Amino acid sequence: MELIELQYWQLALASVLVLLLAGCSWWVRLGFGRSLVIAAVRTTIQLSLIGLVLEALFSVGALGWVALMGVAMVILAGREVMMRQRRRLRGGWAFGIGTSAMFVSAFTIAVMTLLIVIRPDPWYQPQYAIPLLGMMLGNTMNGIALSLDRLTDTVWRQREDIEGRLMLGQRWQDAISDIRREAMRSGMIPTINMMAAAGLVSLPGMMTGQILAGSPPALAVKYQILLMFTIAAGTGFGTMLAVTAGSYRLFDQRQRLRTDRITNPTH
């Protein structure tokens, strides 16, 4: 099956839909029209640039360049995790915890998948390594951002109740145990919903892309199942690591709640 190549004028036609939506937002005063247009422009520029980078990376295929690309993706994902939190840990902790959790979970699982399951030759072949890591980071990033935001926001709102439990002699781990569990669950909900709806309500992105590129549907399904399993594992372990590390940061060595370590966007 011959692949149909899209022209720039066809992409411009598709962008008209976004402009129409932005216009409707302005008309009914929803307030997201400007953000939508900016996001569309960013998407176009960022994806165009990454396309050029990937073409150069695929032609070289050296381990050093692939590793550098992977590290840059992890760092940028860590920044996005920090920016998506309404109340985040002060200093560089929001960035450090999110980035470390993604590196330990998504990066490690992506490497293990390449070495043990897919086994391309060489194992770091960018055609497999970069898309796999990108999908892993994108989903793990969302889960970690949601879980950390739920953790800090709930602790801030329930700080008086938590301090009361501490004064009654509870350890800090027990005083926020319910909050930690809910934060971890909130980070996993989008992934679980995605897995539950796959094939019934929606065709996942990687599978759709492979089918449009001419791959047999059965092969596309196998890769999508593999990707969903790795995403679930990466997101789950990432949220657990992030919430655990974030919880430790919220208390000092004397078991005191340190709300001064959380930013308050209302001030």
Which of 60, 80, 99 terminates a domain? The answer is: 60
Question: How far is it, in rounded angstroms, from Cα 114 to Cα 124?
Answer: 7
Is the domain of 48 the same as that of 137? Answer: no
User: Residue 101 domain-assigned?
Assistant: yes
Q: Determine the pLDDT at residue 205.
A: 72
**Interior CA angle at 239 toward 237 and 245, to 5°?**
100
pLDDT at 132 over 60: yes
79-111 pLDDT, tens per residue? 988 888 888 888 888 899 999 999 999 889 999
pLDDT at 53 over 70: yes
Is the domain of 141 the same as that of 31? Answer: no
Is the domain of 144 the same as that of 237? Answer: yes
Question: How far is it, in rounded angstroms, from Cα 234 to Cα 138?
Answer: 11
Q: Token digits for 119?
A: 């086994």
Is the domain of 181 the same as that of 54? Answer: no
User: Residue 169 domain-assigned?
Assistant: yes
Which residues neighbour 253 within 8 Å (Cβ) at sequence distance 6 or greater?
none
Which of 12, 42, 60 terminates a domain? The answer is: 60
Average pLDDT over residues 254-265: 87
Which residues neighbour 33 within 8 Å (Cβ) at sequence distance 6 or greater?
21, 22, 23, 24, 25, 26
- pTM of the predicted structure, to 2 decimals: 0.83
Is the domain of 4 the same as that of 128? Answer: no
User: Residue 12 domain-assigned?
Assistant: yes
As for how many domains the chain has, the answer is 2
pLDDT, averaged across the chain: 89
User: Residue 266 domain-assigned?
Assistant: no
2 confidence band (pLDDT: 50, 70, 90): low
Is the domain of 182 the same as that of 101? Answer: yes
Is the domain of 72 the same as that of 154? Answer: yes
35-52 pLDDT, tens per residue? 999 999 999 999 899 889
User: Residue 267 domain-assigned?
Assistant: no
Average pLDDT over residues 202-226: 80
Residues spanned by the domain of 42 = 1-60
User: Residue 167 domain-assigned?
Assistant: yes
Is the domain of 95 the same as that of 53? Answer: no
Average pLDDT over residues 200-218: 76
pLDDT at 214 over 80: no
Q: Determine the pLDDT at residue 266.
A: 59
159 confidence band (pLDDT: 50, 70, 90): very high
User: Residue 235 domain-assigned?
Assistant: yes
* DSSP annotation of 247: H
Is the domain of 134 the same as that of 113? Answer: yes
Count CB neighbours of 258 within 10 A: 14
Assess contact for 74 and 102: CB atoms under 8 A: yes
Is the domain of 71 the same as that of 131? Answer: yes
Is the domain of 20 the same as that of 137? Answer: no
Is the domain of 53 the same as that of 66? Answer: no
